[in-house]
Structure 1
Amino acid sequence: MNRLLRFVLTAAVALPAWLWPAAARALEPVTLQLKWTHAFQFAGYYAAKELGYYRDAGLDVTLVEGSPSADPVRNVLSGQAQYGVATSSLLLARQAGQPVVALAVIFQHSPAVLITPAGGAGRSLRGLLGKRVMIEAQSDELLAYLALDGVTAGRFVRVEHNDRPQDLVEGKVDAISAYVTTEPYYFDQAKFAYQIYTPRTAGIDFYGDNLFTTEAEIRAHPGRAKAFRDASLRGWQYAMAHPQQIAELIRSRYSSAHSLDFYLSEAAAMAPLLRTDLIEVGYMNPLRWRHIADTYVSLGQLPRDFSLQGFLYQPDPKLDLSWLGSALGLLAAISALAAYIFRINRRLATALDDSKRAGRALRDSEERHRLLTDHASDLIWTMDLDGRFTYLSPSAEKLLGYRAAELLPQTLAATLAPTSAAIATTGLQGLIAAIRAGGPVPAFRHELEYTHKQGGTVWTEATVTGMRNGAGHYTGLLGVTRDISERRLIEERIRHLAQHDMLTGLPNRALFSDRLQLALAGARRDHRQLALLFIDLDLFKPVNDQLGHRTGDLLLQDVAQRLLDCVRESDSAARVGGDEFVVLLRSIDNAEAALGVAEKIRHSLSRPYLVASHALRISASIGVALFPEHGGDEIELSKHADIAMYRAKRAGHDRVQLYQGG
C-alpha cells in the first residue's frame, strides 16, 4: 500500500498546471485603485496584501495610490484597474450608464465633512455664499448638502483640492472638504479652532469608501471577484483588530508622510464609522442603498424609477471544483484503489468540518441577526396572517415613544393616523389575500404617518413583504419601518426653494404667476376688481456699488419684510428681479383703494434703514394696473403695470403712478 501511495503522489506531482487548485497556480495580477493617498483609510487592503491573504486567494494585487483629482470609477472602467474604492456616487455613475457594481461597504457612515474656521460660516452653510470652498472630486454628498442651504454651484468659488489643510489655516480658502478621520488631527496639532459640518445632520447619511468593480469583471472572472472581495474583507477584519501593527506597516511600507500617532488617531476615528463591533465588515443593506438613492432622487440627481438591479454584488455560493473532478479522474486511471481511499477520507473529513462550520455559522448568524435587529435604528417587526404583531424591535421606543411590549397587543392600524391607517389596512389585506391565494406576493411600500406617545406624529416609510419558513411556506409578514421625517422636511424645503426667492423668501416669478392666474380666474367668476403693483427700488445700485453685495442683500431682505407688513395675508408679494418686486391685491373696491395701498408701501420703503451699521435711504417707484380696466389677462395687466412704473421713475422717482393708457 505504501508503495502504491508513493506512486500516486509521484503521478500527481506530474499533473498539468491547469489541474492544480488556485493556490498552486501562478498568481493572477489585478490592480486596486485607491481613492486618496496612502492612509489608514485603506488599512484592510494593506493587511490583505502584506499578510498573504491575496496570495492565498491566487492573486498578485497592486495597490495604486489616489490623489485629490483621482477618479477611481474612470480608471476601473478604462481597464487601468480591475477594482476600486469610491463614494456612494457610484449610484450616479450607474445611472449614467457606467456598469459599476458595489462589492462591499467598508464605512457604514461616510466620513466626508466640510470644515471652516470656528464661526466662519455661522449657524448654517449659507455663510459660504460667495466664499472659496476647496472641494475634492467625487464629493456629491457634500455638494448636495451645500445645495440644501442654497449654496448651489456658481454661488460659491470652487477651488480644486490640493490635500493641504494648511490652506484653511492660512486663510487661502474659507472651507475645505475633509474626512472627519484625518483633517481634524492636523488642526488640533496646529491649535487651530475649527467647525465641522456633516451631511448627516441634514439626513444625508451615505455609505463611504465602497469597494467596487464592473459587470464585465464579474462576468469574465466571477471566481476572481469573489476571491478578491473575501480576501479584502479578511484584511479589514484583521486591520481593525490590530491597528498598532497595521499603522506601523503603513509607515514602513507605504507612506512615511505622517507620524505613527496620526495613523493611530485615524484608526480610532474610523471605528465608529465602520462599527465592526456590531456589523460584519463589508455588509451592505439593500434598504440603506435604496434610502441613499431616494436622497439623490429628492435632490433631482436620480430619477424616481432608478433601479438597484445589478448594482449590488451577489456572490455565487457555489465553489468551482472542476479541477478536482479532473484530477480525481486522472488519479482514478492511475489507481482506483488509492482514489477510493482518498475520496472516502476526504468526504469524512469534509463532512465533519462542514458540520462544525455549519453549527458555528448558524450560531454566528443568529447572534448577528439578533444584534442587527436589537440595535437597528429602523423599526423591524413581524406579523402573523391574522394581522397580529409577533415581534417588534426595541427601536420602537426611539421611533414612537412606546415600548415594544406596549405595541404588541395593538393592530398596525391602531398605531397610525387615520388616513395612513386606511392605506395600511388595504395594503396588508392585499398581501395576506395574495399569500392565501397562493399567487405572486408583491411587496407593500408606502409612506405612513404614525402617532407618537408624547403627542404629534412621525412620518415613516414602511416596506412589508411575505415571510417564509424553512420549508418555503408563508407564515406571516416582515416589515421595516424607517423614520423619514427629516427627508420629508428636506423635500418640502426643496419644493419651497423651487418656488421662492432664495434671498428674501418671497415667492419667485413662477409662483407669483400661478397665484396671479388663479386670482384672475376668481375675479372673472365673481365679477370683482384686483390690482397689480410693479415696484422698482430707487437708488439701490449705489448701495451695491459702494458697500458691496452683502449689504445690498441685507437691504433687500428688509425691503421684503416691509412689503409683507403692508399687505393683507390674502394678498401676495414677490421678488421678480434684482431690485424689482410685485404685489397682487386680490380684491379691491376701486382705484383709490389700490393707490392707497401703493402709497402705504412707498412711504414704508422710503423710511431710513440700518443695515450692517450703515444708515441707508432709498425709495421706490410704483406702477399700478387694475383688472379688468387695464387688462384682461396676466400678460396685458403686467405690461401696463410695468409701463406705469417707468412713468413714475421718469417723473422723478419716489412716487405712485396709475396706468393711464396710451
Structure 2
Amino acid sequence: MLKLSSQYFLSTLLSFLIIVFTPIVSATVEKNDDQNQQITLQLRWYHQYQFAGYYVAKELGYYDEVGIDALIVEGAPGIDPVKQVTKGRADFGVDNSGLVWARSQGMRVKAVAAIFQKSAMRFITKGSDKYTPKDMSGKSVMLLPDFGSLALIALLKQEGLLNQIQRINSSHNIQDLINDKIFAFNGYASNEPFALEASNLNYRLIDPADYGIRFYSDVLFTSDRLSEGNPKLVDAFKAASVKGWKYALDYPEETVNIVRKYAPHKSRSHLRFEANIVRQHMVADFVDIGNMSNDRWADIQRHLVAIELIQPENTIMVDSLLHKPYKKPNSWKDHLEYFAALSFLIVMLTIALWVYRQRAKSLEQEVIKTKESEAKLFIAATHDSLTELPNRLLFMDRLEVVLDDLRRTGLHCAIAFIDLDNFKCVNDSYGHHKGDELLRLTAQRLKNEIRASSTIARYGGDEFVFLGRNIDESEAASLSLRLIDAVKEASNELKIEPQVTATIGIVLVKSMEGLNAQRVISIADKLMYDRKATGKGGFTIDVVNNPLNRNRLDVAE
C-alpha cells in the first residue's frame, strides 16, 4: 500500500510540474539565430586519431544539432594554425601551450578547451640505451621551426642545452633517426613509436613531463573577434566537440572507422595505437574533457618567463587568454526563469526529504571516489612512478620553501646531488628490468638513511637529490658515507657486477646572497661531476657562506 501511495505521489507531482512549467519554459525558449553557421577548423597536423573528437562531432551530427556546418582542414608543414585564425582564414584552430606566448606577442587568440592535459611531444632516440637530455649536448637534434616543439624547447632551455645542440629543422621523417642521420627526433607519442615498433626497432622516449614540463596540448582556440562577437557560437562548437571526444573515448573501435574516412592511409592497428595514447594524455578519468584553469595557464607562463621564452615585460593577464562563456543579459523574461527555478527548487526539496536515505549512501560513495581520484592525481603529478620517491617538480618546490626559510631565519641547509656509478653497465649486462629493480631498491635504502624531516627525490635517470635542514660539515660527511654504503648494499643484494657505487656533491648553504634554487642545484651537480672526474665513489662538500667565501672538502671512497 505504501509503495502504491509513493508511486501515486510521484506521478501526480510530475503531472503538476508539466502543467505548471510548460508555459513558462515555452515563454523563455529563444530561437537559435545561428542556424547553418559555416565555420572552419584548422588542425595542427595531418588527419589522424589525434583529432578524432572533431571528426566524430561532424560525422555523427553533433555540429548539426547546434546549427553548425563545420569544415575540418588538415594541417601540414608550414601551416601555422595561429596565423590562420588571426588572419581570418579559419574560425577555430588546434595548437599547443604556445598560445600564451602568441598572446604575449600581441596575437589576439582565445583558448577554448585543452583537449590534452599534457603534451604528447617526445624526443625519440634510437636503441635501448636510456638517455637523459644531457646526452643530447653536442648532438644533432630535430625540432619544429620556431616554437612548434614548445615542450621540447622548454626542456632544452631548462636544462641549459638549447644552445649546446645542433638544431635541425624537422624533416617529419622518422627514417632520418633510423638511418643515424640524427641523434634525437622530435616525435609524437601516438605516431612515430608505432612505426618503430612495427619495424621491431628499439627506441627510447624522453618525456618533458618527467622533468617538470607539464604543458597543455592540442588546445582548441579561436580569435578575440569570434569569442567576443559571437560567444554563443564558440560555446556551441566547444560543447559539440567535447561531445565528440566523449564518444571517441567511450567507443574507440567505432571511432577508428570514422577516422579512417579522413585518414585512409593509416591502418586500423595504427589508429588503435593512437587511440590508446590519446586517452592517456587526455586524463579524462580525472578531469573533464577540455578542462582549463587560470592557475595552470599562469604556471605555464611563469615557466616560459623563467626559461626566457617570454620576457617579463611581455607577460599577460592570463584571464585575457581564456574564452568567456556567453551570459544571457538581464530582461523581463528573467523573472519567469527565477520563479520557475524557485518553484522547482521547493518541489525538489520536498522530494529530497522523501529520498534522503536512498541518496545518502550514494553521495557518500561519490565523495570517497572523488577524494581518491584527487589523491591519485596528486601522487601521479608529484612522485616518480618507478621509485615512488618525490619527483623533480616536488623537490624543487620543497627546496624553494627551505630557501625562503633560510632567508628569513638565517638557518642553513644541505643539498646533495647523487649519481650512481656504473649504472649503464647494469642495463647493458642485465637488461632494463634489472636496472629498474636496482633503482627501486636504491631509492628505499637511501630513504632509510635520512631523517623524516628531510627529502630524498629522484631527479631523473640514475640521479637522486637530497635536501635537509641544519646539517653541519661533520654530519654532511657522515651522511654522504651512509648514502654511498646504501647504494653499495642495494647493488650487493642484487648481486650486480661490477658493483654500483655513488658519487656525491653536497652543498651546505649558510647564506643566500647571490643564490637561488636552480643555482644551488647547479653547484651540487658540478661538485658531483668534479668529484667523479677524480675518481668515482666519493663525495665533495662545499660550504657556501657567500659567493666569495666557500670552503671545499673532497673525500674519496
TM class by shorter chain equals 0.5 to 0.7
Aligned amino acid, residue 218 of structure 1? S
Equivalent residue for 2:282, pick from 271, 274, 292:
274
Whole-angstrom distance in 1 between the partners of 2:88 and 2:347: 38
The corresponding residue for 1:477 is none
Secondary structure in structure 2 of the residue aligned to 1:377: helix
Cα 1:215–1:195, aligned 2, differ >3 Å: closer, same or farther?
A: same
Secondary structure in structure 1 of the residue aligned to 2:378: coil
**2:217 pairs with 1:218:** no
CA RMSD of aligned residues (A): 4.6
Q: CA deviation at 1:73?
A: 0.8
The corresponding residue for 2:162 is 152
The corresponding residue for 1:32 is 41
| Residues 46-68 of structure 1, C-alpha deviations (whole Å, 9 max, x = no match) | 11111111111111111110113
Q: How many residues align?
A: 383
Aligned amino acid, residue 375 of structure 2? D
The corresponding residue for 2:237 is 228
The corresponding residue for 1:185 is 194
The corresponding residue for 2:431 is none
Secondary structure in structure 2 of the residue aligned to 1:80: coil
| Residues 500-551 of structure 1, C-alpha deviations (whole Å, 9 max, x = no match) | 9xxx99xxxxxxxxxxxxxxxxxxxxxxxxxxxxxxxxxxxxxxxxxxxxxx
The corresponding residue for 2:209 is 200
Q: CA deviation at 1:290?
A: 2.1
**2:295 pairs with 1:287:** yes
Secondary structure in structure 1 of the residue aligned to 2:76: coil
Whole-angstrom distance in 2 between the partners of 1:110 and 1:243: 21
| Residues 146-195 of structure 1, C-alpha deviations (whole Å, 9 max, x = no match) | 2344432474041333x322222123333211111221111000111112
Equivalent residue for 2:182, pick from 173, 182, 204:
173
The corresponding residue for 1:302 is 310
Judge conservation of contact 1:180–1:269 (CA < 8 Å) in 2.
yes
TM, length-normalised to structure 2:
0.58
Q: CA deviation at 1:269?
A: 1.6
**2:357 pairs with 1:377:** no
Equivalent residue for 1:259, pick from 255, 263, 267:
267
Secondary structure in structure 1 of the residue aligned to 2:319: coil
Cα 1:193–1:86, aligned 2, differ >3 Å: closer, same or farther?
A: same
Secondary structure in structure 2 of the residue aligned to 1:238: helix
The corresponding residue for 1:420 is 405
TM, length-normalised to structure 1:
0.50
Whole-angstrom distance in 2 between the partners of 1:201 and 1:48: 33
Cα 1:122–1:377, aligned 2, differ >3 Å: closer, same or farther?
A: closer
> % of aligned pairs identical?
26
The corresponding residue for 1:49 is 58
Judge conservation of contact 1:119–1:195 (CA < 8 Å) in 2.
yes
Secondary structure in structure 2 of the residue aligned to 1:44: helix
Aligned amino acid, residue 21 of structure 1? K
Secondary structure in structure 1 of the residue aligned to 2:287: coil
Judge conservation of contact 1:298–1:491 (CA < 8 Å) in 2.
no
Q: CA deviation at 1:130?
A: 4.1
Whole-angstrom distance in 1 between the partners of 2:402 and 2:521: 23
Secondary structure in structure 2 of the residue aligned to 1:152: coil
Equivalent residue for 1:316, pick from 320, 325, 332:
325
Secondary structure in structure 1 of the residue aligned to 2:77: coil
Judge conservation of contact 1:102–1:311 (CA < 8 Å) in 2.
no
Whole-angstrom distance in 2 between the partners of 1:61 and 1:208: 22
| Residues 594-639 of structure 1, C-alpha deviations (whole Å, 9 max, x = no match) | xxxxxxxxxxxxxxxxxxxxxxxxxxxxxxxxxxxxxxxxxxxxxx
In structure 2, the gaps of 5 or more residues are 1-28, 353-358, 382-387, 392-400, 410-449, 457-465, 468-515, 536-541, 551-557
Secondary structure in structure 2 of the residue aligned to 1:272: helix
**2:97 pairs with 1:88:** yes
Secondary structure in structure 2 of the residue aligned to 1:310: helix
Equivalent residue for 1:69, pick from 59, 66, 78:
78
Whole-angstrom distance in 2 between the partners of 1:317 and 1:63: 24
- For residues 571-590 of structure 1, the aligned pairs below 5 Å read none
Cα 1:316–1:87, aligned 2, differ >3 Å: closer, same or farther?
A: closer
| Residues 372-423 of structure 1, C-alpha deviations (whole Å, 9 max, x = no match) | 643342899xxxxxxxxxxxxxxxx9879xxxxxxxxxxxxxxx86963997
Higher relative contact order (CA 8 A, sep 6+): 2
Q: CA deviation at 1:38?
A: 0.8
Q: CA deviation at 1:128?
A: 4.7
Whole-angstrom distance in 1 between the partners of 2:243 and 2:372: 21
Whole-angstrom distance in 1 between the partners of 2:367 and 2:111: 26
Cα 1:492–1:61, aligned 2, differ >3 Å: closer, same or farther?
A: farther
Aligned amino acid, residue 145 of structure 1? L
